[in-house]
């Protein structure tokens, strides 16, 4: 980690504009009229949103787009030509990424970068430089600190920008980050002593008391937990919790025909959907809400840790905020650990 | 690696053979950039076959790698993709990604007696393994094949039975669910035949594939007959899309059927939830 | 614990009394041997909103709340519970009661399997603005609904609340088209609006079918418009205006406005104002040669 300078807040859009001549720039931009924020391509003249608002759709959208073409095909007589789609055409920089979202990429990497490697995902990953915005906590829902994430200097970031009065202290972390750093040079000044001090002592309000650990004994210890009862009774199966979750990565594959050709694309899917596991003949191993709700939490809290050594939750709190019925994972994990005798039945 | 991941090669249909009234067998040659390429696989593996513009389905490879050349798939018509496959003609092409999945543990099976148990289309993945075993006959002990279907005309791959019967130290026990005109073999459900034959465990492995209800009873019977969970092998089926452990839908507990399976020992199945 | 921002103190006490009675009634119901659960509301863990709650025993009935944040519509859970054996208790305010009435009329749930507690509602508060929710201005209670018990006379609160902006009818066709394009493009097709809707009880929605396939899966603007247009028409004359779709939408799509114009038009063109209120037949199940036909240039 190297402090490379101080950048004024007012210089930010200009700097991003200059970078956008060379790289594709993605940044949190205002969306709609209700103060919402969205990660989208930055065009010159746009105003970046920096403030305590999380984009509702997480950073994963930049690496696993909601709908993504896999290939196009064209047919003649007896031949079919398959042309793989190009995931991205330019190197990219994501500005203003949050610690929770960046940490989630490391979890998705576990799945998409293991053999056989998902080439489209890898290409997006390797050709994107991630600039983190040190996060002081975006709201009461945040609990990334509970799952071992450093919201100020998150692992996985190439550059970190730490807000100080009227600007940021810019630190580079990786080689990729240093390269980007050279593009920022023109807008940087030497930081003052107080600015450095603020950056050093920058802290987050993210809660550190949420416990997502599963009880000992693996899946069988919680298979019949009461936790699934309450959470599934009010659940409507909309799958918003999986849409907004920065670690959820399930997809469906569809074909579409257009004339003599067509395309295959993948599209986000959710274990909360009835059709997720519905097989031909109408057989479904998870026919009720309860089984699907259980799958979601078991995957995050039991199966993923078993396979990859970490819970598949980065504590962003989006699921609780976006669920029409406000079911959050922390609350479900608490219930899951309750033993029969101390449950409030 | 791309052809495993999401971009298929071309599977050119060379011939189509009727297996039963709703099941066709496709013999295909694999092509890459317009040229035929070799395709190597293990018994028990599967491939994602696609009809361009309709979709993709996981289908077991039913041929054996001991007979290089065309690759065979038996497809039962049940939905959109399989229906589109049934409308294809020799010369047409499908997409193919594979081989996928773990396959049968053939090396660990060597030196053992083997009891094959299959019901209906469940013979498709086993046919490759049976032919593999018979092609390497001296590596394996005694072979017994119990195979059943609802009616005589629903027995798949009937052209194989005589060859199998003629192989050394190999017996084939065919059965149908209910008496039928012209049938003079056994009548009864597969689990009943397993019980009746009462082949002792000893040095024997049992490999069972078929509808879930048949598997359920067969597993109970084998346990009662003293087979150890490590010596009972079966395959699982779950809805699948990517076939390479990424799309997230074929897990049972922490196991993904497409990469950790579809072949499992009963001892492994007992460590995962019974959500199948 | 209330976060009623606009509800004055005197009324807050009244709400608290109602909550006490709600808990008593639910607890008494749950003592019955044939009772499965009682569907009402509980506070969310952050205590800022409420969410549906299925109380399964008298002790859990003490978690139930009634206050001016009780937006969720408990009746929308009933169709999926129709095959459960036993009695289901359900608390309904005005909009929920309209939904319940339509569900019973459409044979989605049997009246005899329900214990219905009517709650006279004085208008709910929008937790984002702190003001009375705009739908409450148009509230109407079903007049002849047979509640098992009520917490007071079931009367429409008759609030004067301003209709929320924008006024679509004041827009030109072009403006309106632009408005809806922008609104619907926000949609991510999660289908929460459909899944939370009391009226979307079809066992297999056309948007879930693969054979025949009615809609593409591409998710572009045309797909989104098709989805919302079809859903709107399927709900014309059945939408009871509980605004649950708008509340559920994670992207803030103004589905409340879409449904409101649909209700307005049903009223203007067909004098239909009956969803959940009267015994009038559902709009799309009636036809009259007198129906106006502005589309084909008939006389309006
Ligand atoms: C490891 C494995 C091996 C199989 N081997 C064979 C075989 O040798 N012969 C054979 O006829 N069938 C086999 N099946 C079942 C076959 O995959 C399904 O019958 C087929 O996918 C149904 O597709 P459809 O489009 O016709 O049906 P639809 O109902 O239209 O299905 C739509 C899509 O859902 C998925 N899907 C639906 N049902 C299943 C299912 N049961 N299993 C997996 N994916 C499903 C597929 O991606 C399919 O394309 C196998 C399944 C698995 C998992
Ligand atoms: S489970 Fe919830 S809190 Fe955890 S990462 Fe996903 S959306 Fe965020
Ligand atoms: S299985 Fe469910 S919880 Fe797990 S990643 Fe997929 S959608 Fe998310
Ligand atoms: S967001 Fe809430 S209601 Fe929707 S599927 Fe998830 S838990 Fe269920
Ligand atoms: S809830 Fe909102 S985002 Fe989801 S399908 Fe409905 S309108 Fe679209």
Asked if C190 and A238 come within 8 Å (Cβ–Cβ), the reply is yes
Q: What is the pLDDT of residue B165?
A: 93
Strand partners, B114: B143, B205
Q: What is the pLDDT of residues B21-63, one digit of tens each?
A: 999 999 999 999 889 999 999 999 999 999 999 999 999 999 9
User: Of the residues C253, C255, C259, which should be mutated to test ligand 5's pocket, given the most ligand atoms within 8 Å of the CB?
Assistant: C253
| Residue in A115, A119, A250 closest to B2 by CB | A119
Residues A121 and B239: their CA atoms lie apart, in Å, by 23
Instruction: With a cut of 70, say whether residue C2 has pLDDT above it.
Output: no
Tell me how far apart the alpha carbons of residues A22 and B114 are, in angstroms, rounded to a whole number. 64
Q: What is the pLDDT of residue C269?
A: 66
Closest partner residue to A253 (CB to CB) among B91, B93, B242 is B242
Residue B113, both tokens: 């007696």
Paired tokens of C241:
């205006």
E runs forming strands in A221-288: 251-258, 261-268
Confirm if B221 and B195 have CB atoms less than 8 A apart: yes
Give the separation between CA A99 and CA B183, rounded to whole angstroms. 70
Count of C-beta atoms within a 10 Å radius of residue C271: 9
CA–CA distance, B259 with A115 (Å, rounded to integer): 10
Mean pLDDT of chain C: 83
Read off the pLDDT of each residue in C144-169 and give the average, rounded to a whole number: 81
CB A315 near ligand 2, within 6 Å: yes
Q: CATH 3.40.50.80 residue ranges in chain B?
A: 106-235
Residue B97 has pLDDT above 50, yes or no: yes
**Residue C115 confidence (pLDDT):** 97
Q: Cβ of C60: how many Cβ atoms within 10 Å?
A: 21
User: Per residue in C236-276, pLDDT tens?
Assistant: 778 888 899 999 998 889 888 888 888 777 777 666 666 76
Token couple for C220: 């572009």
Q: Using the mean position of ligand 2's atoms as its centre, give its distance from the Cα of residue A317 in Å.
A: 5
Handedness of CA B16, B19, B23, B28 (dihedral sign): negative
Q: Which of the listed residues B79, B85, B276 should we mutate to test ligand 1's pocket, taking the one with most ligand atoms within 8 A of CB? A: B79
Contact C254/C183 with Cβ under 8 angstroms? Answer: yes
How many beta-carbon pairs below 8 A join chains B and C? 4
**How many Cβ pairs within 8 Å bridge chains A and B?**
116
Give the CA count within 13 Å in the CB-facing half-sphere of A76: 1
Mark out chain C residues that contact chain A at CB-CB < 8 A.
37, 44-46, 49, 51-54, 57, 59-60, 72, 76-77, 186, 188, 190-192, 195-196, 208, 216-219, 244, 247-248, 250-252
Instruction: Give me the pLDDT at residue B259, please.
Output: 94
Interface of A with C in 10-69 (CB under 8 A): 31-32, 34, 36, 56-57, 66-67
Distance C219 CA to ligand 3 centre (A): 20
CA-closest residue to ligand 5 atom 7: C187
> What pLDDT digit, counting tens, does each position of B152-161 carry?
999 999 999 9
Tens-digit pLDDT profile for residues B165-175: 999 999 999 99
Q: Does the CB of C34 have a partner CB in chain B at under 8 Å?
A: no
> E strand or H helix at C224, and its extent?
helix C221-235
- What crossing angle do the helices spanning A329-337 and A227-234 adopt, rounded to 10°? 150
Give the pLDDT of residue C3. Answer: 43
Ligand 4 centre distance from Cα of residue A320 (Å):
9
Class of domain B3-100: mainly beta
CB-ligand 2 contact for A245 (6 Å cutoff): yes
Per-residue model confidence (pLDDT) at position C93 = 93
User: Which tokens belong to C283?
Assistant: 């709009």
- B78 in reach of chain C (CB within 8 A): no
| Overall residue count recorded for chain A in this entry | 345
Ligand 5 pocket, Cβ-based, cut-off 6 angstroms: C 187-193, 248-249, 251, 253, 255
Q: What's the pLDDT tens digit per position in A291-332? A: 999 999 999 999 999 999 999 999 999 999 999 999 999 999
Contacting residues for C287 by C-beta, under 8 A, at least 6 apart: none
Contact yes or no for C63/C51 (Cβ under 8 A): no
**Of residues A245 and A227, more confidently modeled:** A245
Contact C219 A67 (CB under 8 A): yes
Q: pTM, whole model, 2 decimals? A: 0.91
Number of residues that this document lists for chain C: 300
Categorise residue C282: left if φ over 0, alpha if ψ from -120 to 50, beta otherwise: beta
In chain A the first and final C-alpha atoms are separated, in Å, by 52
Q: Torsions phi, psi of A266, nearest 5?
A: -110, 160
Gap between the Cα atoms of A55 and A39, Å rounded:
7
Return d(Cα A337, Cα B81) in angstroms, integer: 43
Rounded Cα distance, A202 and A163, in Å: 8
Confidence class for position B266, pLDDT limits 50, 70, 90: very high
- Give the count of beta carbons closer than 10 Å to the beta carbon of residue B8: 27
Using CA atoms, how far apart are residues A26 and A45, in angstroms rounded to an integer? 14
User: Ligand 2, closest atom to CA A315?
Assistant: 3
Q: Which CATH architecture has domain B106-235?
A: 3-Layer(aba) Sandwich (3.40)
Domain ranges of chain A: 2-201, 219-344
Is residue B200 classed exposed, middle or buried when 0-12, 13-18 and 19+ CB atoms within 10 A define those classes? exposed
Average pLDDT over residues A244-271: 93
Contact between C239 and C263 under an 8 Å Cβ cutoff? The reply is yes
* pLDDT band (50, 70, 90) for residue C280: low
Q: Would you list the DSSP string of A49-108?
A: --SS---SS-THHHHS-SEEEEEEEEEETTEEEEEEPPS-SS-EEEEEE-HHHHHHHHHH
Q: How far apart are CA A308 and CA A301, in angstroms?
A: 11
Residue ranges of chain B that CATH labels 2.40.30.10:
3-100
Question: Is pLDDT above 80 for A60?
Answer: yes
**Is residue C70 a contact partner of residue C43, using CB atoms and an 8 Å limit?**
no
Q: How far apart are CA B102 and CA B110, in angstroms?
A: 17
- Ligand 2 neighbour A239 (Cβ under 6 A): no
Coil, strand or helix at C297: coil
B176 burial type by CB count under 10 A (0-12 exposed, 13-18 middle, 19+ buried): buried
Rg (chain B; Cα; Å): 18
* B201 touches B228 (CB < 8 A): yes
């Amino acid at each position: 980690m190297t402090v490379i300078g101080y950048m004024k807040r007012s210089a930010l859009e200009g700097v991003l504009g200059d970078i956008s001549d060379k790289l594709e720039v993605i940044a949190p931009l205002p969306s709609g009229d209700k103060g919402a924020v969205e990660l989208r391509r930055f065009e010159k003249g746009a105003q970046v949103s920096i403030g305590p608002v999380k984009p509702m759709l997480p950073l994963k959208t930049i690496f696993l787009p909601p709908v993504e073409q896999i290939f196009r095909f064209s047919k003649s007589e007896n031949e079919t030509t398959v042309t793989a789609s190009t995931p991205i055409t330019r190197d990219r920089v994501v500005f203003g990424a949050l610690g929770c979202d960046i940490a989630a990429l490391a979890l998705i990497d576990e799945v998409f970068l293991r053999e056989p490697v998902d080439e489209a995902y890898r290409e997006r990953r390797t050709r994107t430089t991630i600039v983190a915005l040190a996060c002081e906590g975006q709201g009461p829902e945040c609990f990334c600190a509970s799952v071992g994430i450093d919201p100020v200097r998150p692992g996985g970031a190439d550059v970190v920008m730490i807000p100080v009065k009227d600007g940021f202290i810019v630190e580079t972390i990786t080689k990729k980050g240093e390269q980007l750093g050279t593009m920022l040079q023109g807008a940087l000044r030497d930081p003052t002593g107080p600015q450095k001090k603020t950056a050093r002592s920058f802290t987050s309000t993210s809660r550190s008391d949420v416990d997502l650990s599963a009880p000992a004994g693996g899946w069988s210890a919680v298979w019949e937990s009461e936790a699934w009862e309450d959470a599934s009774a009010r659940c409507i199966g909309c799958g918003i919790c999986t849409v907004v979750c920065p670690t959820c990565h399930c997809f469906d594959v569809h074909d579409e025909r257009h004339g003599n050709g067509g395309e295959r694309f993948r599209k986000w899917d959710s274990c909360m959907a009835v059709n997720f596991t519905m097989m031909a003949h109408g057989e479904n191993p998870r026919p009720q809400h309860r089984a699907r709700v259980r799958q979601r939490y078991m995957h995050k809290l039991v199966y993923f840790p078993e396979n990859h050594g970490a819970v598949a939750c980065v504590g962003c709190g989006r699921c609780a905020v976006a669920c029409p019925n406000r079911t959050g994972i922390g609350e479900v994990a608490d219930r899951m650990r309750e033993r029969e005798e101390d449950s409030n039945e | 690696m791309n052809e495993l991941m999401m971009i298929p090669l071309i599977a050119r249909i060379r011939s189509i053979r009727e297996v039963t009234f709703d099941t066709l067998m496709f013999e295909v040659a694999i092509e890459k950039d317009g040229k035929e390429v070799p395709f190597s696989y293990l018994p028990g593996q599967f491939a994602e076959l696609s009809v361009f513009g309709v979709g993709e389905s996981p289908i077991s490879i039913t041929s054996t790698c001991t007979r290089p050349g065309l690759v065979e798939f038996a497809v039962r018509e049940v939905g959109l993709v399989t229906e589109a496959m049934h409308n294809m003609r020799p010369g047409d092409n499908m997409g193919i990604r594979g081989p996928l999945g773990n396959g049968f543990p053939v090396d660990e099976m060597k030196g053992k007696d083997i009891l094959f148990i299959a019901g209906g289309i469940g013979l498709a993945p086993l046919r490759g393994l049976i032919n593999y075993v018979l092609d390497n006959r001296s590596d394996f002990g005694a072979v017994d094949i119990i195979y059943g279907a609802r009616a005589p005309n629903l027995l798949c791959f009937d052209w194989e039975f005589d060859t199998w019967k003629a192989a050394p130290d190999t017996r084939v026990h065919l059965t149908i669910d209910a008496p039928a005109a012209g049938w003079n073999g056994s009548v009864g459900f597969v689990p009943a035949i397993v019980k009746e034959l009462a082949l002792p465990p000893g040095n024997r492995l049992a490999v069972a594939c078929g509808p879930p209800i048949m598997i359920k009873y067969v597993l109970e019977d084998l346990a009662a007959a003293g087979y150890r969970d490590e010596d009972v092998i079966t395959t699982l089926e779950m809805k699948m899309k990517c076939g390479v452990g990424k799309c997230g839908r074929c897990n049972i507990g922490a196991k993904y059927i497409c990469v950790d399976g579809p072949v499992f020992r009963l001892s492994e199945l007992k460590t995962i939830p019974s959500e199948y | 614990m209330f976060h009623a921002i606009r509800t004055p103190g005197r009324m807050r006490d009244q709400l608290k009394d109602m909550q006490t009675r709600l808990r008593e009634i639910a607890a008494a119901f749950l003592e019955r041997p044939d009772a499965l659960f009682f569907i009402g509301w509980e506070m969310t863990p952050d205590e800022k909103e409420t969410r549906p709650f299925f109380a399964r025993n008298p002790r859990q009935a003490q978690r139930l709340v009634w206050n001016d944040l009780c937006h969720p519509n408990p009746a929308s859970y009933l169709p999926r519970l129709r095959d459960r054996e036993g009695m289901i208790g359900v608390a309904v305010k005005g909009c929920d009661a309209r939904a319940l009435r339509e569900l019973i009329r459409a044979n989605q749930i049997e009246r005899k399997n329900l214990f219905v507690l009517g709650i006279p509602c004085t208008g709910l508060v929008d937790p984002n603005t702190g003001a009375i929710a705009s739908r409450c201005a148009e509230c109407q209670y079903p007049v002849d609904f047979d509640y098992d018990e009520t917490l007071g006379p079931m009367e429409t609160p008759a609030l004067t609340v301003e209709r929320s902006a924008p006024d679509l009818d004041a827009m030109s066709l072009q403006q309106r088209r632009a408005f809806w394009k922008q609104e619907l493009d926000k949609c991510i097709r999660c289908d929460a609006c459909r899944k939370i809707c009391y009226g979307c009880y079809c066992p297999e929605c056309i948007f879930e079918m693969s054979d025949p396939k009615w809609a593409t899966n591409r998710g572009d603007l045309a797909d989104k418009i098709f989805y919302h247009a079809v859903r709107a028409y399927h709900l014309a004359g059945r939408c009871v205006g509980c605004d649950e779709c708008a509340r559920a939408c994670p992207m803030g799509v103004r589905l409340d406005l879409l449904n409101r114009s649909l209700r307005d038009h049903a009223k203007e063109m067909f004098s239909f104002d009956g969803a959940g209120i009267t015994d009038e037949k559902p709009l799309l199940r009636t036809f009259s040669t007198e129906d106006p036909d502005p589309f084909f240039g008939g006389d309006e």
